[in-house]
Amino acid sequence: MADKKIKSTKKVKHIGLVKNDPWLEPFEQAIKGRHDHALWKLNDLTNNGKQSLSDFATGYLYFGLHKTDKGWVFREWAPNATEIFLIGDFNNWQETEKYKLKKLKNGNWEIKLSKNALKHEQLYKLSVHWEGGQGERIPAWANRVVQDENTKIFSAQVWAPEKEYVWKKKKFKPDTSPLMIYECHIGMAQDAEKVGSYTEFKDNILPRVINDGYNCLQIMAIAEHPYYGSFGYHVSNFFAPSSRFGTPEELKELVDEAHRNGISVIMDIVHSHAVKNEVEGLGNFAGDPCQYFNQGERREHPAWDSLCFDYGKNEVLHFLLSNCKYWLEEYHFDGYRFDGVTSMLYYSHGLGEAFGGYGDYFNGHEDDEAIAYLTLANLLIHEVNPSAITIAEEVSGMPGLAAPFKDGGYGFDYRMAMNIPDYWIKTIKELKDEDWKPSSMFWETTNRRADEKTISYAESHDQALVGDKTIIFRLIDADMYWHFKKGDENLVADRGIALHKMIRLLTASTINGGYLNFMGNEFGHPEWIDFPREGNGWSYKYARRQWDLVDNHELCYHYLGDFDQSMVKLIRSVKKFQNTKVVEVWHNDGDQILAYSRGDLLFVFNFSPNRSYTDYGFIVPQGAYNVMLNTDAKQYGGNNFADDTVTHFTNYDPIYEKDGKGWLKLYIPARSAVVLKKVD
């Protein structure tokens, strides 16, 4: 008798990421390989668990300039250097034996000085010598860097005020139910044509954010950067908060005041690349262009005119991980939005890649060292602060980015839903209003991995920059300048006001994690962002926010601002709104109608530009429904066609009675959306 094959009944144990998404099964070994590589690196950095990752990431306490009970100590990592001198206004910027550093092991250098050798606010640099060359450098770990107003030269500054900042709010836990982010830039936050300060933001802008109901500030351009117009993305000094906005204490006051008002503060952290500058930055620190950066062709980013870190070097990991811990500990930031993650994940930086299927994420062009770094950064951040927030700005759709490390993920709390703003732009640009399809809108705003939380947004700072257009400008364009005064509105302005509200409501109400708005976009700020540069005569005209527009109730801007405030308040009124299931109730692309529910809330949209519907019916749970928010309300610049004081009751239908459902019939004006709540 021939042998019969016996089928094994033993279940294959899959890693969590694959359990949640069986389509990843063909790539499970690659996922496990990346996970194991991160574990191996973790053990390497922690001496097989003899110390914690947090213990490892304390470079900022060792390197740089520190005041001690005995005097001053300064240390730097510069393995290629042959001599290093501390120079500054304390020694007339001359190399002297008194300020010469001593070489230690592992490429480290050190100098110990008496108490009176340096004073608070004195300027300094390093004079670094190497085989065949010499140059002035700002220390890599400098925690204060300033620019001379006249010469425009940057220098490190001794920062040791007599009194340390005393935190008023010592303990703070972010409110993420849901996370409502106000993305902002300190310098361009003021009305005046100038660089705004931390204090001005605290006094003038923070109260607006509080009033508007957002519970998280996401601040751009914190780490020092030589060129203001880089929006903070070409970082030179990773441990120095930009002095153009004020002092370290003033930044701490801003964070502290936000915390006292229940608002978490996260910063854009740029570990995907660094500025090329050599004197200000790390570009050629001690005669070695690759001390911090990749060798050969991989050193320079082909699209960003910047340098790419070598994540395979433990010293570079020490620098970057210490940087992650530093801002959490020293400035009480509540987490980070990691910029340029796509660029880190792939040797190609994701440039020119389609990413059309899962195989594109596992075909050998992924940078496992960068993936390990991102994973370790998330482990570290949550070890230092278990309540910290981490967000990945990533466009390729890499699976597992915002999944837990134990499941084979990279450990981010959220990923940016970058498809949504692209979708809205494409819709506005390419489709006639009659061709907008609600089914497509619903799919795009809810299309995400079930095991990963996202930050949804209709537009961010990216869409507000010169060369692009905000949603309001795409909708109204030049008519904003002539027809945004009450009584002077034309059809173009009316359309723009209506759709601006509807797009935001649909985007914000379908979140599974959080929602983001860029400063000023909530009220339809009319101008693009253009930082001072040679091409505009170094003007600050467009590097500011015109708050007087939304404050002026003779103009239409306040309609949009008031609606945004009401929308945020409504979403935050529902506990764990982001966790409630989004259930499609109805869509009809011909009618351009969309309806969906979340818990007791019912969202109804009519995107038709010219068709209003009377007694349009939806099958919903039986009961009474009250209007909570209506884009067509007069207070938000609408036509006020419906009576929102009326309670709407479901009609009996024997077919749906057994399910406890009935017909809810509504009047839905053209280009409007309404939110109703089921009441007892």
User: Which residue numbers are catalytic?
Assistant: 339, 393
DSSP class of residue 205?
I
**DSSP class of 676:** E
Whole-number Cα distances in Å, 128 to 77, 89, 284, 645: 11, 17, 11, 74
Percent helix, strand, coil in the chain, to 5, is 30, 25, 45
Rounded-to-integer distance, Cα 49 and Cα 30, Å: 25
Q: Are 581 and 635 in contact (CB under 8 A)?
A: no
Q: Token pair for residue 411?
A: 């450990």
The three-state DSSP-derived secondary structure of 650-662 is CECCHHHHCCCEE
Q: Which residues, in sequence order, are CB contacts of 479 under 8 Å at separation 6+?
A: 490, 492, 493, 496
How many CB atoms are closer than 10 A to CB 380?
A: 25
What does each C-alpha distance from 137 to 156, 284, 566 come to in angstroms? 9, 9, 51
Closest CA relative to residue 614, chosen from 662, 664, 669: 669
The 10 Å CB-count burial string (b at 16+, else e) for 121-160 is ebbbbbbbbbeeeebebbbbbbbbbbbeeeeeebbbbbbe
> CA dist 459 to 60, 371, 484, 521, 562, Å?
36, 27, 21, 8, 18
Residue 127 and residue 87 in contact, taking contact as beta carbons nearer than 8 Å: yes
Contact 268, 219 (CB under 8 A): yes
- Hey, is 634 helix, strand or coil? helix
DSSP string, 491-536: HHHHHHHHHHHHHHHHHHHT-SSEEEEETTGGGT--S-BB---GGG
The Cα–Cα gap between 76 and 126 comes to: 10
Contacting residues for 650 by C-beta, under 8 A, at least 6 apart: 620, 621, 622, 623, 624, 625, 661, 662, 663, 664
